[in-house]
Structure 1
């Protein structure tokens, strides 16, 4: 073999090796789930919005690993709560938040944050603005993620959502009787049609006019972030204008209602505080997009994580 032939042979070997490395690096890693407890701190405020208490907590979570992207699912212990708002709650929309009724919710997992763009892309393969999501898009995401992970992921029921948001509280917000724009992303300034940027005696805040990065603000006692404001979140339930006849077991309210409209919870960055309360609710057509709407995941569980 002459020098030229040797050179070509080595060059071909090098190219084959390089191609193998490229193919190997491009192949996605097998998705898997890990479990890890995490620590966090909650805050409680008084009617002036001043922090009066800080509390350390620990919760369990499942972490979904997909091509270098993770989705964190927090364990929410089961329990019973009063769904809806009491008659004494300031600025309640009584015709939508009544009658207040007890609901018993089984343990489940809830997304620590709303789904982000990178998480969407890891599952769906494209990268749309995550706050412009149809209800039908969210359902497709859940179905595809379930197939990838071999688990059943879905949108939360409306009862699961409110139970998860309240995290044992009975006040309008999980921070207490009010909150400030240092604690959540909502409109902290007055609107031209009479909406107030403050809820109680707290000072008015800022109006960011856009979404903020998930996890920027303090969580609730379950370890869930961004449940007040930032983006509305789709729930699985068809829309019902009041709670008369609602399930008491935390399940999706499938019967009756308007199946073309789906429940939204949590409020958004463009709304004043009265509209981002734990009991606040709205609806939107399943095939309509808005720049203020996103979603987070839920998953039922039959096992209780070990403490530690």
Structure 2
């Protein structure tokens, strides 16, 4: 989640361990989700628990929270103790929410699903996680702390694959020059640290900022998305939510860059009947026969207010899209490449 950060008050919970964490668009999330007494919600991106806590404080309801980061699960103890059996926190990527949630939460039984996509402020601010070039740390970037790290990828992938990842997931037009510089550097010394990569990319741009930002910003974004398969996770998570939500259930998704928002916008447009026949994964005959499984709540995404931007500049790129589940059957599961590659 780039759950980048707003004031959460003084109530109990893991965010007290992270005073700079501010849940983005929290008022808009609650207004759109409309928590109700006796309902069950899934927070697919628990993080520091900002959304979960707000939902549980808004109504006498239940939340099943997921996060693939073991640190988030570890830090959830205070919040789970505070809310007791109203909260269950599970280590799992939200793409696998159907298998992770308790057995009684079968298809068509959930009142709402909230997803806050990307990397959290806590992850960004922890140099040991390797998500940022603001301070030196291991070139890791894994949300789950398992599998291939960013350093593993850069030290083994061929130049074309590195260039493709940086271009597709970072929308970086100088991806080929960056890939060449990376391959040249690793022939001398393998990459292990974040500032090593930041320095190589900066040299490609002769140290100049790009759109007012550090020249390595897009490259770091691309590697993080690729290592964690964030776009594939998002696509799978949306379809899982579609199957779990009951008629009238609400799906609320907060994204932080155009690649994520594009996937959510396209998914909801298709599922609400706004763009019939446009799916690249489903046969045309299935698209034509499928009835709209969602009704859009907001045709345009909600964005942070001026006041929120002043308190939390990291929220500037946040976009909230939401939809209400209809009584139509969930669309068939798609097949195809993960993410955009």
TM-score between the two structures when normalised by the length of structure 1: 0.23
Choose between structure 1 and 2 for higher RCO, CA contacts under 8 A separated by at least 6 residues.
1
Which structure has the highest helix share of the two?
A: 2
Which structure has the highest strand share of the two?
A: 1
Which of the two has higher C-alpha Rg?
A: 1
TM-score between the two structures when normalised by the length of structure 2: 0.21
